[in-house]
Chain A
Amino acid sequence: MSERVTPLDERIEEAQKILSENPDDVSALMAYGEANLLRGRALEAMKSYQRLVAIQPDTVDASLALGKIYLDNGLLTEAFGIVSRVLDAAPANIEGQILLRRLQKSVKNGNVAADLEQSLARYKDYLPSGDELRAQREKLEAERAALDGEIADQQRAVEESRSEPAVEFTLQMSRARRARVEEAIAEVEQWERHYHALEEERDRALREEEQRQQEAREAEEAERLRVEDEERARQQAEAEEAERQRQEEEARLQAEREAEEAAAAAAAAVNNVLREREEAYERIGHQLAPLTSTLMKTKGVIAVLVLSRDGHVVHKTDDGDSSKYAAFVTDAIQALGSEGDGLGVWQFWVLEFSKGILVLQRVSADYYLLVVGQAGSNFGVLTWTIEKNKAQLESVLADAPPIPEEDSAS
């Protein structure tokens, strides 16, 4: 039984005829490859495309057709070699990208060398620009429209010329071509979706970045205002502190001035009192002199002094330093205590030392008589003589100015 001669067979025969005369005829190699591929003779098609690509390496259609045959037959590394060469030259090549997707799926599902997987990875994130996508889509849609017109014409021609192999072959080729264009459009649409998603993502990221920058600016502004507020508050606090210190210093100086004035007034008052007392003591001293002279005549007596409770010398029988006697009198009054001690008011105090004797006679609450004697003085005679003259002493000192309590403290 003889086989029916198909348009493809005729096409193959025609191409063979050309190639037998000119093996490097590019158009014939292309036609031979396409026809054999449609005929299902992948090996023959592959050989034809391989020869064509060897002659013209930049032939995209032949390269892609060869790459598809490699891929269909599991020759993934060879397919990648073809696809990478096409895409490196034209990254936006739709059919190249379609082939790449299929290759990536095959690699993902199959057991392949790691270096091929790595090599594929560099194409993973490729996305044409918006302009490229629009241009691709316009081109593909124009091609599809043109093919639709051609297919319609070829369909009518086939119907009119019944069993004309060349017409039928052309129709098949056009349909195949249209299918590839449709597939390419689908790929472009997929890219567009991806592109739009990326654009949205980019817009969103942009908005987020703007938002972030806005927040950063606001935070920066808030921080600047906070720092300014702090600085203002610090300056205010410093000013207040300075004012407070100034007021304190002013108050301190005022208090010092007042204290100095008060001290000066008090000192003046004290001086007035002292002056008045000195005047009174000078007057009284003349009256005391005969009495102290009598005491000085007692055996062993070397000095007689009349002192006030606060240590002022009212009268004394010698010109020596009396400050130590004055200190003794004030300390003695302190040491012997007051009536509250339960022993009553002390009258006199005799202290016998190795080198002398002191007799302190209380004349009144404010005035005292101190007799200084040599060691071994008869203090019985001494106290008797003092007692004998005590009434006169009291009488004279009754005119002496009283000693205010505050004066005794000083």
Chain B
Amino acid sequence: MSELKKILENFCKLEGVRGALVVGSDGAVQESFMERETNVDTVARLVAAGARLGETTAGALALDTLNQSYVQYADVSVTSEVLGSRSSLVILADSGANLGRIRLEIRKNRKIIEGFGA
């Protein structure tokens, strides 16, 4: 198991976290770890589309750069942090998961993950 995958696995130790993955700006999954069976390609595609729209909107509304995005679905939330290489670190969590804790863990691991070239 790669180091990156281990880091992603560690996210899943947080309560309510279903999985974590790294998605390129082109929507390709670079690495992922899922606690439950999930269609990661669909998630990656949605994240990449959201990131592209975020970039466009940032320019259009003079909001500088998109840093983080959070989408709440019926029973799952998708938190994605834009990394230095314009890849995204994506955390899938249940609706009741502690979002503050997830955001904190993202902040803590961001540099390490970027060190893997993501």
Query: Interface of A with B (CB < 8 Å)?
Result: 324-325, 327-328, 331-332, 335-337, 341-356, 358, 379-380
Please pick, from B52, B60, B62, B66, the residue contacting A327 in the complex, using a CB distance under 8 A.
B60
Main SS class of interface, B: mixed
Closest 6 CB pairs of A and B: A344-B74, A354-B64, A353-B63, A335-B49, A350-B70, A355-B64
In whole angstroms, how far apart are the Cα atoms of A343 and B70 in the complex? 14
Known: A344-B73, A344-B76. A335 touches B67 (CB 8 A): no
Interface pairs (24), CB distance under 8 Å: A328-B53, A328-B57, A328-B61, A332-B53, A335-B49, A335-B53, A336-B46, A337-B49, A341-B42, A343-B46, A344-B73, A345-B73, A345-B74, A346-B73, A349-B50, A349-B72, A350-B71, A351-B68, A352-B67, A352-B68, A353-B58, A355-B62, A355-B64, A358-B61
What chain B residues lie within 8 Å of A379 (beta carbons)?
Answer: 70
Write the nearest CB–CB distance from A281 to chain B, whole angstroms.
Answer: 23
Which single residue of chain A is at the shortest CB-CB distance from B60? Answer: A324
Q: Are A346 and B100 neighbours in the complex by a CB distance under 8 Å?
A: no
Q: Are A335 and B69 neighbours in the complex by a CB distance under 8 Å?
A: no
Q: Are A353 and B73 neighbours in the complex by a CB distance under 8 Å?
A: no
Q: Does B99 contact A (CB under 8 A)?
A: yes
Q: Does B109 contact A (CB under 8 A)?
A: no
Please pick, from A328, A342, A353, A380, the residue contacting B42 in the complex, using a CB distance under 8 A.
A342
In whole angstroms, how far apart are the Cα atoms of A344 and B69 in the complex? 18
The total of interchain contacts (Cβ-Cβ below 8 angstroms) comes to 90
Please pick, from B46, B56, B61, the residue contacting A341 in the complex, using a CB distance under 8 A.
B46
Which single residue of chain A is at the shortest CB-CB distance from B77? Answer: A347
Q: Are A353 and B76 neighbours in the complex by a CB distance under 8 Å?
A: no
Write the nearest CB–CB distance from A291 to chain B, whole angstroms.
Answer: 20
Segment 32-56 of B: residues with Cβ below 8 Å from A: 39, 42-43, 46, 49-50, 52-54, 56
In whole angstroms, how far apart are the Cα atoms of A335 and B48 in the complex? 9
Q: Are A347 and B73 neighbours in the complex by a CB distance under 8 Å?
A: yes
In whole angstroms, how far apart are the Cα atoms of A348 and B50 in the complex? 13
Q: Are B69 and A350 neighbours in the complex by a CB distance under 8 Å?
A: yes
Q: Does B65 contact A (CB under 8 A)?
A: yes
What chain B residues lie within 8 Å of A324 (beta carbons)?
Answer: 60-61
What chain B residues lie within 8 Å of A332 (beta carbons)?
Answer: 50, 53
Q: Are A358 and B71 neighbours in the complex by a CB distance under 8 Å?
A: no
Q: Does B78 contact A (CB under 8 A)?
A: yes
In whole angstroms, how far apart are the Cα atoms of A328 and B53 in the complex? 8
What chain A residues lie within 8 Å of B70 (beta carbons)?
Answer: 349-350, 352, 379
In whole angstroms, how far apart are the Cα atoms of A356 and B68 in the complex? 11
What chain B residues lie within 8 Å of A328 (beta carbons)?
Answer: 53, 57, 60-61
What chain A residues lie within 8 Å of B73 (beta carbons)?
Answer: 343-347
Q: Does B75 contact A (CB under 8 A)?
A: yes
Known: A336-B50, A344-B76, A380-B100. A351 touches B60 (CB 8 A): no
Query: Interface of B with A (CB < 8 Å)?
Result: 39, 42-43, 46, 49-50, 52-54, 56-58, 60-76, 78, 99-100
Write the nearest CB–CB distance from A330 to chain B, whole angstroms.
Answer: 10
Q: Are A336 and B63 neighbours in the complex by a CB distance under 8 Å?
A: no
Known: A331-B56, A343-B78. A351 touches B99 (CB 8 A): no
Known: A335-B49, A344-B74, A345-B74. A354 touches B42 (CB 8 A): no
Q: Are B50 and A335 neighbours in the complex by a CB distance under 8 Å?
A: yes
In whole angstroms, how far apart are the Cα atoms of A337 and B52 in the complex? 14
Q: Are A358 and B42 neighbours in the complex by a CB distance under 8 Å?
A: no
In whole angstroms, how far apart are the Cα atoms of A327 and B53 in the complex? 10
In whole angstroms, how far apart are the Cα atoms of A410 and B22 in the complex? 35
What chain B residues lie within 8 Å of A348 (beta carbons)?
Answer: 71-72
Write the nearest CB–CB distance from A360 to chain B, whole angstroms.
Answer: 9
What chain B residues lie within 8 Å of A347 (beta carbons)?
Answer: 72-74
Q: Are A352 and B49 neighbours in the complex by a CB distance under 8 Å?
A: no
Q: Are B53 and A343 neighbours in the complex by a CB distance under 8 Å?
A: no
What chain B residues lie within 8 Å of A355 (beta carbons)?
Answer: 62-64
Q: Are B71 and A346 neighbours in the complex by a CB distance under 8 Å?
A: yes
In whole angstroms, how far apart are the Cα atoms of A347 and B73 in the complex? 5
Which single residue of chain B is at the shortest CB-CB distance from A362? Answer: B72
Write the nearest CB–CB distance from A143 to chain B, whole angstroms.
Answer: 128
Which single residue of chain A is at the shortest CB-CB distance from B56? Answer: A331
In whole angstroms, how far apart are the Cα atoms of A354 and B65 in the complex? 5
Q: Are B63 and A344 neighbours in the complex by a CB distance under 8 Å?
A: no
Which single residue of chain B is at the shortest CB-CB distance from A345? Answer: B74
Write the nearest CB–CB distance from B92 to chain A, whole angstroms.
Answer: 9
In whole angstroms, how far apart are the Cα atoms of A342 and B50 in the complex? 16
Known: A332-B53, A344-B75, A344-B76. A351 touches B46 (CB 8 A): no
